[in-house]
Structure formats: structure tokens, C-alpha cells
Amino acid sequence: MALTLTMTAAACGGDSEGATTEDGKIKLTVATFNEFGYEELIEEYNAMQDEVVVEQKKAGTANEHQDNLYTKLAAGSGLSDIEAIEVDWWSALMEQSDAFVDLSDPEVEGRWLDWKTEAATTPDGALIGYGTDIGPEAICYRSDLFKKAGMPTDRDEVAKLFGTWDDYFEAGREFVDKVPGTAWYDSSGGTAQAMINQVEYSFEEEDNTVIAADNPEVKEVFETVTTNAADGLSTGLTQWSEDWTASFQNDGFATMACPGWMLGVIEGNADGIEGWDIANVFPGGGGNWGGSYLTVPAQGEHTEKAKELAKWLTAPEQQVKAFEAKGTFPSQVEALEDPALTGSTSAFFNDAPTGEILADRAEAVPFIAHKGPKFADINTAFQQAIQRVDEGKESADEAWQSFLADVERLG
Amino acid sequence: MTLDSPAVSPVGDGGDPERVTAAPAGAGSPLRGRRPSPWRRRLSRWDARLSPYLYISPFFLLFLLVGMFPLLYTAFVSVHEWSLLGGQGDYAGLDNYRRVLEDRYFWNALRNTVSIFLLSSVPQVLIALVLAGLLDTQLRGRTLWRMSVLVPFVVAPAAVALIFGNVFGDRYGLVNEALQAIGLSPIAWHVDTLASHVAIASMVNWRWTGYNALIFLAAMQAVPRELYESASLDGAGRVRQFVSVTLPMIRPTLLFVIITSTIGGLQIFAEPRLFDTQGLGGSDRQYQTMTMYLWELGWRVRDLGMASAVAWLLFLIIVLFALVNLLISRRVGTLGGRR
């Protein structure tokens, strides 16, 4: 029994700073989630210098990554040398800015879009994260299913259909009439998320007072997606669930809101399916969904080397390559004008000029929604409420009431 | 970690130090003729008295370090305001306990835990008993059968969750597709409360039944065969022999398995946690267990004070369950033993 206990204890302490490799090189780890498009870049970095060996640790979902980050941040050890952080969680971690190395450096001044840098700068001027990507959103759609419904299939024609959310949902009602068995969009949660991201102050006021319960815009998003679900527009599945992944292979739905980083996800899940395309439009103007930063936790042993690596990875040239690999859209000013980006096309999305489309979409983003320290927690409760309606566990009214109780509980 | 510690004491301190003391004392006697100095005599007396405790001390030292200390530290944390990232705050008395007991999700988690525990532990112990009874007979290829019941146990829980996730998919899962193929309506495994509990319990059972069966088997093989001979001479059939000979004879093992599976069942975490991707136990927390609730408070809400309060409440609940179990099994055991 004692033996079991020691072994468990050892296992808990696991993967901490195993700092050097056998041949005396420094080992650096980079922890990311979903698809960052870093696989080839890391190989390139390992080949171009011989001081450090870089290893990537990939988590399946942002939540999983975040749980790990919180746990090890609290423990004070065990974090990777570089940790990616998603923008939804950013402000909760900004309160712990001491745990991260100040990365400000004259070399990187003006590298990113202003708002991206501003969000990563603490009140006393420390820059604690290097921007990686942003999530300008477009609409991805299945042209083969559109054809079946007698709708236009050309991406410019399709773009004209989706000027506002009402137009988009109206088109959806026509679609589900003609193609029964296939939903209009991938999930209520994803659509709600896209709409919430277009509200400047959704769950929290500028001073981070929680307003989720009384904000009419939040209520409206909730009512819209739950009504749509009742009309059969949604698959009723939750994003990232097994059924959701499987629905890409089963003609489960025809469209989805797709930020740049989602392109890689779609391509992976819909492997072998032909007909995906992307329209240069987003209902209600523009919207940004997600995007991340690379940070260097102060607890690391080789923070200088890690900073160097983070600087290299987030340089415009590298982010353009990451974009080519997985569609993560760069947040670097120079990258946006790089012909390698603007000229890039995607064979999977019917040779669409994805670079140009997403650059247009990025320009259409009017503002970046405010996300305070409670955003991620309230958003989880909001998404769960929508899911309960989708699953028929509660009526829309009941789900809203229990959402209010959850917000109250989160305080 | 802290949660594991209660499991230690009922299993670990079985040794009887008095019995061990006898050996070194006896071994010391030939030296007596040489009239050793009083100092040496005292040393040897200490040796005889203290050594046994020293021999068993590593376990207790380790237990203090990795069992007792976290337990007490958790109690300390539970009476403070304590944020995951911010660390210790003000002394809060029993406030965290009050907040936990007032939270509807606590009671919800308690209900789910007990339900999943009953759905897993009861069939698990019964099936394991029957399985062990069958394995204890003159089967062809006995070793193969005995080994293969342990195979599910070596598969990591995360892998089990992954496989069962596909089996119990609501829309495109194996079970539902089979149900639809024979004209039945699909079951909403991730939505319906009871269905989700059954799905999770089946994961647990799949993993632990064979393991428990082997423990039972080991105990059954130690039952003297003469008892069965005389039982059959008395005209008892196989079933009667099983109930009246086997069960009473393996009662201590039965107790052990029931108590460990109670502890394990009430601490269930990996299977329900990995049953969906959010890890909160479904949209309505319909399969959020106590440990998942603890985890949510600690790591999502980032309130370690409340999470520690839950840990202690869970500890008390487990002690309560173990005591009830002990009483029931004692009663059942004596009834079976009366012939």
C-alpha cells in the first residue's frame, strides 16, 4: 500500500522541468491546444540551431489545456516553458500577471494589431503574451448540400444571402424545408458564441461588473438560438462532442460560423467529404472568435530561451506558415500584407482564396468584445443552458431561469 | 491525493506487533550465560521492544506524509477563503461548509454519486462472485480464463472512456445504431439522467468486475475441499454449497471487496469526467459526481476553500457508508454462517 502511495505521488509530480536532453541540449516545451499549426515550425527551429530542442504538447480542447494550466500555476511548478492562452481566459490570468515573464522587447514593438497588444499589456506596462492568431469569422458551407436545396452554390452568390443574422436564419428555414434530416448549422452553442462575440459588453461591463442577467442583448441571443433549434435549424449537438465530430461525416449540417482556426478543424473532421466552401461574409458585419497568445511562465527554468523561441514563433513569417498549415489567422500587421497569406488558397475548401477572405473578414471586425475575469465561467453556464434546451431537458424559459441562478452562484 | 488517504487505514494496519515481539526476545536468550553489561542488556531489551515498530514504521511515516498531512492541510484550507491562483485569504470558519451545503449542485452531485455507486458496486460484486464461483470449477484452459477476466483492468480508464464514448454516442453510437436496427428507439445516453448513470456504471463494471472476481477466486481456493465433500454427502447441491459453504468461508474477503469498492465507487471521477468533453457532468449536471463537483469548485470556479470543504464532507460520507456496509455485511455473514 505504501508503495502504491509513493508511486502515485511520483506520478502526480510527473512531467516537470526535465530540462536537458542526453546530448546536453536544453529541452523546451510548448503547450498548445486544438491546432496551432506549429508542427513543422518546431522542426524547423530544432534544425536551425543546436542549443535547444523544442517539444510540443498538444491538448485536445481549450478547456483541457486551461485546466492543466490552472492546476500547475497554482502548484507553482510543472508548466511548459511556453504556454498558449486563449483569449476567453485571458483576463482571469491577467490578474496573475506576476506568474508570467514580462516579454516586452523593442524588437517586437508594432508587430501586432494594436488591440491585440493592448489586451496583453498590464496596467504597469508589462507585456505578458505574444499574440499568435486572431479569429476573424466567415461562413463555411457545404455547396453540395446547397445544390440539393436549390440554393446558389457559388461563394460570392452565397455571400449575398447572409448579410444579417435574420437573413442567415431565413435561408436556413428554407434549407431545412427542402433537405429534411440535415440541420442548417453545426450547433446552437457555436452560433450563440459567434453572436455573443459581436456584443461589445455581453456578460460584463467595462469595469467587470457582471451584467449577464439583465443584458437584453444576451437574452436576445438566447431566445434566437433556442427558437431556431425548435425550428430544426440546429443539430442540437454540442461542439467538440463525439456526435458533433461524427456529424461532419453524416451530412449533419450545411453551414457553420468559422473563424480561421476552425478551418483546420473542419478539414480534419470532414476528411474525405467533398463540397466544403467558404463565403466572404459574416452575418451582422464582422466578428472575432478566439485567438491566442504565447506566454512564458515565470516558474520555468529557461525563460530567456523560451522568450526567444516565443518571439520566433510569433514572428510574421512563421505565423504565415502556421496559417498555411492549419488556417490559424495571424495577428501580426506585416503578415496580413504578406503575399503568401493574401494569395493563399485552400484545396479542401474548393480552392477558395482563404487568405484574402479572412483578411477581409478581419477588416470587418468593428471592435473586440470585452471579456472580463468571469467571462469564461458565465459563458460555460450560458452554453449549458442552450444545450439543455437542445436536449429537451428544460424549456427555454426554465433554462433561462436556471442560467440566471448559475450566474448568481458564480457571483 | 487527499481523497485516497482514507482508503489506507482500513487496509494497512492489520499487523499485530505483539506477536512479532516474541521472536527477537527468544533469540536473545543464549547470550545470557555471558553476563552482558547492563548497558548491553538494556540495548537488547530496547531492540526487542522497539524493532518491530521500526520495521512497520516506513508505512506509517509515508502515511503521515502523503495521507495524514494532506488530510489535515485540506481541513486547514477548508476553513479559509482560498483562491486557486491567489492563495490563502481570511479565516472563514465554517462558512465554506455552509456555502457548499446550500448549493443545490452539491445535493445533485451526492444523488448522482450514490446512484452511480449503487448501479456499479452492487452488480459488480454479485457478478464477480458468480464469475469466481465458475472459475473455481474444473474448467478446461483454466489459466486462460482466469487471466482474461483481468484484461479490462489493465486498460487505462481514459481509453475505456474513449471507447465507451463511441459505444454510448447519443446519435451515432454503436448501441443506439443497434437499437435502431432492430426497430427500437435510441436512448439519450448523455441526456437522460438514469441512462447516463447506467452508461457510466457499465464502464466501471467492465473495468472492475474481473479484478474483484480474481480476489474472490483466491479466497475460494483457500476453502478446504473437505467441506464441500461433506456438504455433498449431506446432499447439498452446487447452489446450496455456494451459499452455505463458499460465502461464509470467504466472508473476510467479501467484506474487504465491499469496502474497497464502496470507497472507490463514491470517489468515482475519471469515467463520468470523460463521458463528455466539457467535463461538468452534462448540460444539467445530470452525471456530475462528488469528486467532479469538488474539481469544478477548485479548478473552474477556482475556490479551493469550498473544494476542500467538499473533500471533507466526502470523507465523512465515505466513513458513514463504510460503517453501514460493515454492519450489514456482519449481519449477513453471521446469518449465512448459522447452519
Q: Which pLDDT tens digit goes with each residue over B241-299?
A: 998 999 889 988 998 898 899 899 999 998 999 888 888 899 999 999 999 999 999 98
**Residue of A3, A4, A5 for testing the chain B interface, max B β-carbons within 10 Å:** A5
- DSSP labels, B37-58: -HHHHHHHHHHHHHHHHHHHHH
Running DSSP on this structure, what letter comes out for residue A97?
G
User: Looking at the predicted structure, is the pLDDT value of residue B21 above 50?
Assistant: no
User: Looking at the predicted structure, is the pLDDT value of residue B327 above 90?
Assistant: no
Specify the DSSP element, H or E, that contains A390: helix A375-390
Please report, rounded to a whole number, the percentage of residues in chain A having pLDDT higher than 90.
71
Amino acid at A86: E
Please report, rounded to a whole number, the percentage of residues in chain A having pLDDT higher than 70.
95
Number of other CB atoms surrounding residue A74 within 10 Å: 18
Q: What is the mean pLDDT of chain A?
A: 90
Superfamily classification of domain A12-134+290-342: Periplasmic binding protein-like II (3.40.190.10)
More confident residue, A4 or A310: A310
Which chain A residues touch B8 with a CB distance below 8 Å?
1, 5
pLDDT of amino acid B29: 47
Task: Report CA A113 to chain centroid distance, whole Å.
Answer: 18
Span A144-156, pLDDT tens digits: 999 999 999 999 9
Task: Report CA A137 to chain centroid distance, whole Å.
Answer: 11
pLDDT of amino acid A92: 80
pLDDT of amino acid A366: 85
pLDDT of amino acid A34: 86
More confident residue, A340 or B29: A340
Q: Which residues contact B319 (CB under 8 A, 6 or more apart)?
A: B6
User: Looking at the predicted structure, is the pLDDT value of residue B89 above 80?
Assistant: yes
User: Looking at the predicted structure, is the pLDDT value of residue B1 above 60?
Assistant: no
Span A26-70, pLDDT tens digits: 999 999 998 899 999 999 999 999 889 999 999 988 888 988 998
Measured CA to CA, the distance from residue A26 to residue A49 in angstroms comes to: 11
pLDDT of amino acid A348: 95
Tell me if residue A259 falls in helix, strand or coil. strand
Position B333 confidence tier, pLDDT thresholds 50, 70, 90: low
Tell which residue, B294, B89, B83, has the closest CA to residue A373: B83
Number of other CB atoms surrounding residue A290 within 10 Å: 20
* Region of poorest pLDDT, from A113-117, A124-128, B1-5, B49-53: B1-5
Rounded to a whole number, what is the distance in Å from the CA of B283 to chain A's nearest CA? 5
Cβ-contact A266, A253 below 8 angstroms: no
pLDDT of amino acid B23: 42
pLDDT of amino acid B332: 66
More confident residue, B157 or A33: A33
* Region of poorest pLDDT, from A69-83, A194-208, B18-32: B18-32
Measured CA to CA, the distance from residue B5 to residue B137 in angstroms comes to: 37
- Enumerate the H helices of chain B as residue ranges: 5-12, 17-28, 38-63, 69-78, 95-102, 104-135, 142-148, 151-154, 157-167, 174-181, 193-221, 225-233, 238-241, 247-249, 251-266, 270-273, 290-295, 304-337
Rounded to a whole number, what is the distance in Å from the CA of A159 to chain B's nearest CA? 31
- Enumerate the H helices of A249-374 as residue ranges: 260-269, 303-313, 316-326, 333-337, 339-342, 354-363
Interchain proximity A8–B1, CB inside 8 Å? yes
Q: At CB < 8 A and 24+ separation, what contacts does B86-90 make?
A: B86/A95, B86/A96, B89/B305
Position B12 confidence tier, pLDDT thresholds 50, 70, 90: very low
Interchain proximity B283–A393, CB inside 8 Å? yes
pLDDT of amino acid A19: 61
Please check whether residue B170 touches A, CB under 8 A: yes
pLDDT (mean) for B195-217: 94
Tell me if residue A255 falls in helix, strand or coil. strand
pLDDT of amino acid B330: 74
Measured CA to CA, the distance from residue A222 to residue A189 in angstroms comes to: 10
Q: What are the residue ranges spanned by the domains of chain B? A: 2-58, 99-337
Rounded to a whole number, what is the distance in Å from the CA of B133 to chain A's nearest CA? 28
Measured CA to CA, the distance from residue A108 to residue A105 in angstroms comes to: 6
More confident residue, B302 or A23: B302
| Closest residue to B11, CB basis, from A1, A67, A74 | A1
User: Beta strand pairing status for A288-295 and A130-142?
Assistant: antiparallel
pLDDT (mean) for B55-78: 92
Phi, psi dihedrals of residue A17, rounded to the nearest 5°: -60, 85
Q: Which residues contact A249 (CB under 8 A, 6 or more apart)?
A: A269, A270, A272, A273
Cβ-contact A196, A189 below 8 angstroms: no
Interchain proximity B278–A238, CB inside 8 Å? yes
Position B11 confidence tier, pLDDT thresholds 50, 70, 90: very low
Position B18 confidence tier, pLDDT thresholds 50, 70, 90: very low
User: Looking at the predicted structure, is the pLDDT value of residue A337 above 90?
Assistant: no
Cβ-contact A69, A76 below 8 angstroms: no
C-alpha cell at A406: 448559475
Measured CA to CA, the distance from residue B324 to residue B304 in angstroms comes to: 30
| Burial (0-12, 13-18, 19+ Cβ within 10 Å), B175 | middle
Please report, rounded to a whole number, the percentage of residues in chain B having pLDDT higher than 90.
53
pLDDT of amino acid B8: 37
User: Looking at the predicted structure, is the pLDDT value of residue B28 above 60?
Assistant: no
Measured CA to CA, the distance from residue A409 to residue A403 in angstroms comes to: 10
| Burial (0-12, 13-18, 19+ Cβ within 10 Å), A48 | exposed
* Predicted complex ipTM: 0.80
pLDDT (mean) for A250-275: 93
Domain(s) labelled CATH 3.40.190.10 in chain A stretch across 12-134+290-342, 136-288+348-410
Measured CA to CA, the distance from residue A112 to residue A116 in angstroms comes to: 6
| Closest residue to B59, CB basis, from A1, A247, A393 | A1
Using an 8 Å CB-CB cutoff, list residues of chain A that contact chain B: 1-2, 5-6, 8-9, 12, 60-61, 63, 67, 70-71, 73-74, 92-93, 95-96, 99, 237-238, 240-243, 246-247, 250, 377, 380, 384-385, 387-388, 390-394, 409-410
Position A83 confidence tier, pLDDT thresholds 50, 70, 90: very high
Cβ-contact B170, B191 below 8 angstroms: yes
* Separation of first and last alpha carbons in chain A: 42
pLDDT of amino acid B139: 82
pLDDT (mean) for B159-182: 89
Q: Which residues of B239-264 are buried (b: 16+ CB within 10 A; e: fewer)?
A: eebbebbbbbbbbebbbbbbbbbbbb
pLDDT of amino acid A292: 93
User: Looking at the predicted structure, is the pLDDT value of residue A186 above 50?
Assistant: yes
pLDDT (mean) for A364-392: 91
Which chain B residues touch A1 with a CB distance below 8 Å?
8, 11-12, 59
Number of other CB atoms surrounding residue B192 within 10 Å: 18
Cβ-contact B276, B190 below 8 angstroms: yes
pLDDT of amino acid A9: 36
User: Beta strand pairing status for A329-330 and A130-142?
Assistant: antiparallel
Angle A33-A39-A44 (CA atoms, 0-180°, nearest 5)? 140
- Enumerate the H helices of A114-183 as residue ranges: 114-119, 143-148, 155-161, 165-178
Say which CATH class B99-337 falls into.
Answer: mainly alpha
pLDDT of amino acid B34: 63
| Closest residue to A241, CB basis, from B12, B59, B277 | B277
| Closest residue to B170, CB basis, from A71, A243, A384 | A243
Tell which residue, A64, A41, A40, has the closest CA to residue A240: A64
* Region of poorest pLDDT, from A127-131, A278-282, B23-27, B50-54: B23-27
Measured CA to CA, the distance from residue B200 to residue B190 in angstroms comes to: 10
Cβ-contact A70, B302 below 8 angstroms: yes
pLDDT of amino acid A332: 93
pLDDT of amino acid A13: 37
- DSSP labels, A34-75: S--S-HHHHHHHHHH-SSEEEEEEEESSHHHHHHHHHHHHHH
Measured CA to CA, the distance from residue B130 to residue A23 in angstroms comes to: 56
Which residues is A29 bridged to in the sheet?
A55
* Region of poorest pLDDT, from A230-239, A248-257, B13-22, B232-241: B13-22
Interchain proximity B85–A70, CB inside 8 Å? yes
Q: Which residues of B126-153 are buried (b: 16+ CB within 10 A; e: fewer)?
A: eebbebbbebbeeeeeeeeebeebeebe
| Closest residue to B276, CB basis, from A6, A241, A394 | A241
pLDDT of amino acid A84: 95
Phi, psi dihedrals of residue A163, rounded to the nearest 5°: -60, -45
Q: What number does CATH give the domain A136-288+348-410?
A: 3.40.190.10
C-alpha cell at A375: 467571462
Angle A130-A131-A134 (CA atoms, 0-180°, nearest 5)? 170
Interchain proximity B12–A2, CB inside 8 Å? yes
pLDDT of amino acid B187: 93
